[in-house]
């Protein structure tokens, strides 16, 4: 019921959130793969990327939390894909921002 004055706009907060998701090279790398080709599995990434699987899992979780990426369960694997809708939103926000 508390009416709190928000200083930052919704767009500013969304942009910051997407930017935060992309603020680590491994997350940029993962999104780059997912946007260029198709979806992929955590294990596929783990073989390429020079970090522990548990750490990779944390980064994937962050990308999921940001909304840029989603995971589809495909037992016993989990297939990670871009969330097209949010990806398009981020694209638009950055485009507007730099315009």
90 part of the interface to DNA, by CB under 7 A = no
Does residue 76 have a cis bond before it (omega within 30 degrees)?
yes
Given 4, 50, 54, 76, the residue binding a copy of itself (CB under 8 A):
50
Exposure of 89 in the CB half-sphere (CA atoms within 13 A)? 19
Minimum CB–partner distance for residue 85 and a copy of itself (Å): 14
Cα 18 to Cα 54: distance, rounded to the nearest angstrom = 22
63 part of the interface to DNA, by CB under 7 A = no
Among candidate residues 90, 91, 98, the one with its CA nearest the CA of residue 14: 90
Given 52, 72, 92, 97, the residue binding DNA (CB under 7 A):
52
Partner from DNA, a copy of itself, none binding residue 43, C-beta < 5-8 Å depending on class: DNA
Kindly compute the dihedral angle of the four CA atoms of residues 30, 34, 40, 45, in this order, to the nearest 10 degrees: -20
33 part of the interface to DNA, by CB under 7 A = no
Interface residues with DNA (CB under 7 A)? Answer: 20, 23-24, 26, 41-44, 46, 51-62, 71, 75-78
């Amino acid at each position: 019921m508390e009416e709190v004055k928000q200083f930052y706009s919704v767009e500013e907060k969304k942009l910051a959130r997407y930017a935060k998701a992309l603020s680590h090279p491994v997350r940029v790398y993962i999104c780059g793969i997912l946007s260029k080709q198709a979806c992929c599995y955590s294990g596929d990434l783990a073989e390429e990327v020079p970090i522990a699987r548990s750490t990779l899992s944390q980064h994937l979780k962050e990308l999921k939390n940001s909304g840029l990426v989603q995971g589809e369960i495909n037992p016993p694997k989990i297939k990670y894909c871009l969330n097209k809708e949010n990806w398009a939103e981020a694209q638009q926000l950055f485009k507007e921002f730099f315009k």
